[in-house]
Amino acid sequence: MKDIKGYDLIRKFEEFAPTYLAEEGDPVGLAIGTLNKPIKKVLVTLDVRPEVVKEAILEKVDLIIAHHPPIFRPTRNLVTDDPQINMYADLLKNDIAVYAAHTNLDVATNGMNAWLAKAINLKDTEIMTVTKKEKYKKLVVFVPISHKDSMIESLTQAGAGEIGPNYKDCTYTVEGTGSFTPVNQANPHIGKLNKIEEVKEARIEVLFPEKLTSEIEKALFTAHPYEEPVYDVYTIDNYVDVYGLGRVGNLEKAISIEDFAEKIKHTFGVSGLRYIAKDPSQMIQRIAICGGDAGKFYPDAINKGAQVYITGDVYYHAGHDMLASGLSVIDPGHHIESICKDELVKLFTGWSKEMDWNLDIIPSKLNTDPYRFI
């Protein structure tokens, strides 16, 4: 097994939940400490609270990965009489780094909201509120047959060839004959000056996200043997990656709102919840769910045909508006996002085995939900 540094794990994680997907102003990324150090133990948590920091110190972890940023609003001072500031001091004293993935994890293709939808067995899910669209381009490059494999490897390592969340290394290759005549000051890899040359070449086609254009071109020039590579870059209109908040889907069987609310309570292990419904006995089947405080997005749930919207921290007046619109709502609280602990442990452990990392990933054992019900 090989030792790694913090940025090795985070580099891989940001392929899964890129920081550019986060909402503007969301303080995602490294919040405390450094990633430029060896890590052997990682603690995954929903919240970074003083009791979680104590747990991390006892467990001798090197890095905390949290969903909620530990420093959400700027602090005016660093007086350790304040429990929150003292928590930061404890982290620094014990050389524990903290990294947060918030709204970027919410909208990631197989991230927070996908996990929540899976937990309640939604089928045929779609995004509730689109927040980002990523355009694609197509590269076509001609390369000698002898360099076909090395070119494909260079392009795919740079990020080309990924289609959706479940396919990578996607390329198309066809072989043919290229011809050219080197003239003037040419220094050809193949052929002689002023003499026409024919070469067996491969035409390689590959898709890539528009944002990676410079990286893909750099990879092409690195792998290509010619001093003047021939390649084309096309804008693609019929393929785009879409990211967004929430998921909308269907239950396998219709169920009453009242029974469904009870089921949600048990699914997420909450001791109490609130729900809004004109008729609790109404049978429902199409559901929208969005983790966190997402009440303001309820019109998007309605537009997607949802009969019930599940989210946390629903405000009183928003509840009235939802009721007036005919939408039923289940509020199991913000803490249902703690589902991320087990899911991230599973994700990181899989990568650790795949990469043969010397890394121990553990979930926080603490319940950081501030609410109790009587």
- Do 256 and 120 fall into the same domain? yes
Q: Average pLDDT of 187-199? A: 79
Model confidence at 275: pLDDT above 90: yes
> Could you tell me which residues are beta bridge partners of residue 248?
126, 288
187 against 230, higher pLDDT: 230
pLDDT of residue 182: 79
Determine which helix (DSSP H) or strand (DSSP E) holds 134, and give its type and residue range: strand 123-144
| Structural tokens at position 2 | 């090989």
Distances (CA, A) of 337 to 115, 117, 173, 273: 9, 11, 44, 15
Instruction: Return the residue matching tokens 């494909």.
Output: 152
pLDDT of residue 261: 97
Residue 369, domain member (yes or no): no
Using CA atoms, how far apart are residues 123 and 248, in angstroms rounded to an integer?
Answer: 9
Q: What are the backbone angles phi and psi of residue 48, rounded to the nearest 5°?
A: -105, 100
346 against 78, higher pLDDT: 346
In 3D space, the residue among 32, 37, 41 whose CA is nearest the CA of residue 85 turns out to be 32
- Do 278 and 343 fall into the same domain? no
Burial 78-89 (b: 16+ CB within 10 A, else e): eeeeeeeeebbe
Model confidence at 373: pLDDT above 80: yes
> Could you tell me which residues are beta bridge partners of residue 361?
42
Using CA atoms, how far apart are residues 158 and 152, in angstroms rounded to an integer?
Answer: 10
Model confidence at 185: pLDDT above 80: no
| Domain span including residue 248 | 107-131+243-336
pLDDT of residue 71: 94
**CATH label of the domain that carries residue 248:** 3.40.1390.30
- Do 50 and 21 fall into the same domain? yes
At 223 the three-state DSSP class reads helix
- Do 53 and 115 fall into the same domain? no
Residue 368, domain member (yes or no): no
- Do 166 and 257 fall into the same domain? no
Side chain identity, residue 68: H
- Do 253 and 313 fall into the same domain? yes
Using CA atoms, how far apart are residues 280 and 319, in angstroms rounded to an integer?
Answer: 15
Model confidence at 158: pLDDT above 80: yes
Model confidence at 118: pLDDT above 90: yes
Determine which helix (DSSP H) or strand (DSSP E) holds 103, and give its type and residue range: helix 103-107
Of 198, 223, 241, which marks where a domain is finished?
Answer: 241
**CATH label of the domain that carries residue 176:** 3.30.70.120
Domain count, the chain: 3
Residue 51, domain member (yes or no): yes
- When the pLDDT of each residue in the chain is averaged and rounded to a whole number, the result is 95
In 3D space, the residue among 296, 349, 303 whose CA is nearest the CA of residue 326 turns out to be 303
pLDDT of residue 281: 97
* Mutual angle of helices 83-93 and 50-59, in 10-degree steps: 20
Whole-model pTM: value is 0.87
